[in-house]
Structure 1
Amino acid sequence: MTSLNQEYIDPVLVSLYGELNSWAPDNDFYMAMAGTTPKRILDVGAGMGIQACALAKAGHRVVAIEPSPQMLKQAQKSMGADLVQWHQTDAENLPSIKPVDLTICMGHAFQVFLDQSAVSTVLRAIQKTLKPGGEFIFESRNPLAKSWENWEKNTHVHQSQAFGEIECKTTVHSFENGLLTFANTYEFLRNGETKTSISTLRYFTHDQITQQLRKAGFSVKTIYGVWDQSPFAATSPEMIFVAVKE
């Protein structure tokens, strides 16, 4: 089971996570990929539930899984949450559900699986949930783009309605053998309190992911490089995979 960092456990940081991760271009992308014809959709690692709820309100039948009880609690308070079937579990232990047309795994959640064995387990579990010809859509940051080199430049002060001004900064600790370890630090300026969450992400290459998908019984339909559906190129910031169950 994948371990959870403080941003997904600490109630204050979970609330702040929701403020800092509002609707964005990736959400629009996944809505477009789902289309307008009602589908059965599985959202793996649903987080605060904004995508799952939006898809459900658009007429899709959505099953959402999230390993963090704190995030799941917040997600279930969202508008449209009553339309979603929620499960507290991780991707390695998917619940038994009716086959779905589409499975999504967004927010770079794919990168929390840190080794080949974990990825293999997750991909095979997801493959089993899909109908024949069903699609699995997910993204992973392109390691060749080295986006983490700019993260430390993004220090900023966030104005929170609940917590006042908060200085948010990221410190990269190391990048070795495809594993990036970094810390997100939040200083609450009204009282000087500081909370830090340390995370590790796996940066798989394009070829590694493609091979893993094929071993798990998928064919790769499309790979996008940007949320506007531009095709993937070597320097694209994202690797957005549309894989099909064979």
Structure 2
Amino acid sequence: MDLTEDDVAAIYDVTDPWRAEPGTSDALYTEFAMSAQSVLDVGCGTGQMLHCLRDNGYTGRLAGIDPDAASLRRAQRRADIAVEWVEGTAADIPWKQEFEVATMANNAFQCLIEDDEVRASLTAIRGALTDGGRFLFETRHPQARAWEDWAAAEPRRLDFAGRVLVMSWEIESAVDGVVTMIETTSQEDGTVLHVGRDRLRFLDLPTLNAWLEDAGFVVEEQYGDFRRGPITSDSRSIVTIARTA
């Protein structure tokens, strides 16, 4: 039987669990968010970060927005925590000057493809933040050419709902900084259960910072990894903390 979109959301939680271990992206986001009284998670997915914050004793205001309805259904499965969930893109953010911190974890920023989409999203995030509010997000550094690693990766096997699934990846194209990747989930016998197609934009540092400045942000800190190391010629990530100008 083919996988449903709800199954795909549940599989994401299996393959990419939130683990706030030292030196990880999850730890940096958790630490950053815990220091604020109000947090907006843009591209919140299945809500793992916001669930983690509540589980760690966070008492402030939490909100998450994501365009994927199945992911939000999974995020809302926990009735024991108070979070405002909204279905929509970053550009659809309805809040105005209401949050001290906005986050965009797990390289979600790379899902913004067109220039107008980047511009509208940054403007909406800026508008949701209070004066002096800060925006933490990450994007893969194009110099590392991460898509080549994905293309060479061995299929991944996992147990899900009593059966073994096999996940594999193929790069359809890499043109003008936009990479299109096909993810196929199959049974052990090769029967295809689900095919996903993702497009990701890889922005270099000058271009990224120009977008932020145009949207009314000042870059406060930038790192090449999640241990707050500098950006170098070997960096695989661009981790940015920007504040409202």
Confirm or deny a common fold (TM above 0.5): yes
Q: Which residue of 1 aligns with 2:111?
A: 112
CA shift in 2, pair 1:203/1:191, >3 Å: closer
CA RMSD of aligned residues (A): 1.9
Change (3 A) 1:127 1:97: closer
4+ runs deviating over 3 angstroms = none
Whether 2:8 is the aligned partner of 1:18: answer: no
8 Å CA contact 1:145–1:236 kept in 2: the answer is yes
Q: For 1:190 and 1:86, how far apart are their aligned partners in 2?
A: 39
Letter in 2 for 1:75: A
Indicate conservation of the 8 Å contact 2:38/2:61, yes or no.
Answer: yes
Taking every aligned residue pair, what percent have the same amino acid on both sides?
24
- Distance in 2 (CA, whole Å) between partners of 1:97 and 1:124 is 11
Per the alignment, residue 45 of structure 1 pairs with 43
AA partner of residue 42 (structure 1)? L
| Paired positions, count | 237
1:153, 1:164 → 2: CA distance?
A: 25
1:83 partner SS: coil
> Are the counterparts in 2 of residues 157 and 165 from structure 1 also a CA contact under 8 Å?
no
Aligned residue in 2 for 1:3:
none
Deviation of 1:223 after TM superposition, in Å, equals 0.7
Q: CA deviation at 1:234?
A: 2.9
Q: 2:226 corresponds to which residue?
A: 227
**Aligned residue runs from structure 1 range 1-246, under 5 A:** 10-24=5-19, 25-35=24-34, 37-57=35-55, 58-59=57-58, 60-78=60-78, 82-96=81-95, 99-189=98-188, 192-246=191-245
Q: 2:77 is matched by which residue type in structure 1?
A: K
- Contact residue 36 and residue 100 of structure 2 kept, 8 A: no
Q: Distance in 1 between the 2:97 and 2:168 partners? A: 42
| SS of structure 1 residue aligned to 2:226 | coil
The 3 A distance-change label for structure 1 pair 20 and 79 is: farther
Q: Distance in 1 between matches of 2:195 and 2:214?
A: 38
**C-alpha separation between the residues in 1 aligned to 2:32 and 2:203?**
23
C-alpha spacing 1:84/1:97, structure 2 compared with 1 (3 Å): farther
CA distance change for structure 1 residues 161 and 153 in 2, over 3 Å: closer, same or farther?
same
Cα distance in 2 between the residues matched to 1:217 and 1:98: 13
**SS of 2:72's equivalent?**
helix
Cα separation, 2, equivalents of 1:104 and 1:26: 12
